[in-house]
Amino acid sequence: MNLKGIFQDKSSSYKLFIFICIVFLSSFLGVLLSSIISPPESEMYKPSNVFTLKMMQLIVSVFIFIIPPLFFSYLSRVNTINIFGFKNKFKRQNLLLVFLIMIFIQPFVVYCMQINTKLLYLVSDYIPLIIQNLENMEQRALELTTLFLTMNSASDLFFNLFLIALIPAFGEELFFRGVVQQYLQKILKNPHLGVCLTACVFSAIHMQFFGFLPRFLLGLILGYLFFYSGNLWMSVLGHFINNALGVLLSYSAFANKLTPDITNIEKTGINLSQAFFSVAVVLLFFYLYKQINNNVN
């Protein structure tokens, strides 16, 4: 039976519902497959199991973020070429601007993380159990990240760039900007609201609420990189640069040659003036980015 394009004539709302159903089914299969190789809970975070944990991460990422959009495109369009917004042609100025935006936004991202943490602790007296659970989730995520980012060789570095930077950049942009954002924009008939809602879902789905605000900001930036250029490769590049920075700054061969303030930027206090400067520079770069791509939208 040929299923290609069977939902082509359905409404955008119906297609988005079908996509969500595909995501749930594919996610279940991914978690099921990853559980087959999962080490015992008591030995989960041992260094000897790091490769197994990385394989589990790879399986889950592929089944959640890559397979559903590709299968959805097969079902929703007869001609699936460029359905997500990938374009082979792009302006070289965009590459430089995307790089500068992702570099200069980092201080403001850290500032947002500081605000996020303060806000959660302000309400901790009212919902102590919820805050405690969020802290436990954050601690487990930190343990896993620390384990992943322990790199003793160049091969560890390149594998982490593949697993932590490339796969999430491609898969999550395919998922969120390539499908969710585009369909929300069609349904809501408001591109800016579509970008904001997609950024909110993007942040929430990571289930790390001490970093909700900075991840929401990242989602906004990636959403507008795509919206203003009409080229999904731009948001993929931005996402890759953001993730790759964390990997590279954790690699001992690089970290030993840098100052502690750079390698531990998330633990470095950012004041209001530094945050304002970061935003002002990024807004300038976005203005230039929009002007360069002003014929797209």
122 and 79 inside one domain:
no
Cα–Cα dist 27/60, whole Å? 7
Residue 21: the pLDDT is 96
Given a contact cutoff of 8 angstroms between Cβ atoms, the answer to whether 107 and 274 are in contact is: yes
37 and 101, same structural domain? Answer: no
Angle (CA) 37 53 113, round 5° = 145
Same structural domain, 133 and 94: yes
Domain extent at residue 64: 1-83
CA nearest neighbour of 195 among 211, 206, 180, 214: 180
The answer to whether position 98 is within a domain reads yes
- Residue 268 DSSP label: S
Q: What pLDDT shows up at residue 266?
A: 53
119 and 57 in a single domain? The answer is no
Sequence-ordered list of residues with C-beta below 8 angstroms from that of 20, at least 6 positions apart, any chain: none
172 closest CA partner among 151, 144, 203, 145: 203
Cα–Cα distance between 94 and 33 in angstroms, integer? 39
For residues 102 and 160, membership in a common domain is answered with yes
Q: Looking at the structure, do residues 93 and 73 belong to the same domain, yes or no? A: no
Check residue 261 and give its pLDDT: 47
Is residue 125 included in any domain, yes or no? Answer: yes
Can you give the pLDDT of all 297 residues of the chain as single tens digits? 677 878 888 899 999 999 999 999 999 999 999 999 988 877 777 888 889 999 999 999 999 999 999 999 989 875 665 678 888 887 889 999 999 999 999 999 999 999 998 888 887 777 788 778 878 888 888 888 888 888 888 898 999 999 999 999 999 999 999 999 999 999 999 999 999 999 999 999 987 888 899 999 999 999 999 999 999 999 999 999 999 999 998 886 655 555 444 445 555 678 899 999 999 999 999 999 999 998 665
Same domain for 239 and 164: yes
